[in-house]
Chain A
Amino acid sequence: MSWLLTPYVERRTCRVLFYLLLGLPLGILDFTIVVTGFSLGLGLIVTLLGIPVLVVTLLVVRSLAALERGLAVSLLDAPMPRRGPARDRDSGVFWARLRGLVFARRTWEEAGYLILRLPLGTLDFSIAVTIIALAVSGMVMPIVVAAGVPVSIGSWEIDTFVESLVYLPVSVIFLLVGPRLVLAWSGLSRRLATALLGRLEPYESKLAVVDVLARTGEADGFLILDELELRFGRGPFLTPTHVEATLLALESLGQISARRENGRTLYALAR
Chain B
Amino acid sequence: MDEFGELSLREREAKRIARRQWFWLHLAVYVMIQVFLFVIWLLSSASYPWFIFPLFGWGVFVAAHAVYAFVVRDPEEIMIERAARQAGKRQ
Contact = CB atoms under 8 A, between A and B. Distances in A.
Interface size bracket, B side: 10 to 19
Interface size bracket, A side: 10 to 19
A249 B79 CA distance: 9
A96 B75 CA distance: 26
A221 B2 contact: yes
B41 to A, nearest CB: 20
A264 B3 contact: yes
Contact of B79 (A243, A245, A260): A245
Contact of B4 (A220, A249, A252): A220
Interface of A: 220-222, 225, 239-245, 248-249, 252, 260, 263-265
B1 to A, nearest CB: 9
B2 A244 contact: no
Contacts of B79: 245, 248-249
A242 B76 contact: yes
Interface string B1-17: 01111011001100000
17 contacts: A221-B4, A221-B7, A222-B4, A225-B4, A241-B8, A241-B11, A241-B76, A243-B4, A243-B8, A245-B75, A245-B79, A245-B80, A248-B79, A248-B83, A249-B79, A263-B2, A265-B4
B2 A260 contact: yes
Nearest to B4: A221
Nearest to A223: B4
B80 A244 contact: yes
A229 to B, nearest CB: 14
Given A263-B3, A264-B2, 19 more contacts: A220-B2, A220-B4, A221-B5, A222-B4, A222-B7, A240-B8, A241-B12, A241-B76, A242-B76, A243-B4, A243-B8, A244-B5, A244-B8, A245-B75, A245-B76, A245-B79, A263-B2, A264-B3, A265-B5
A222 B7 CA distance: 10
Given A245-B79, A249-B79, A240 B2 contact: no
A264 B4 CA distance: 8
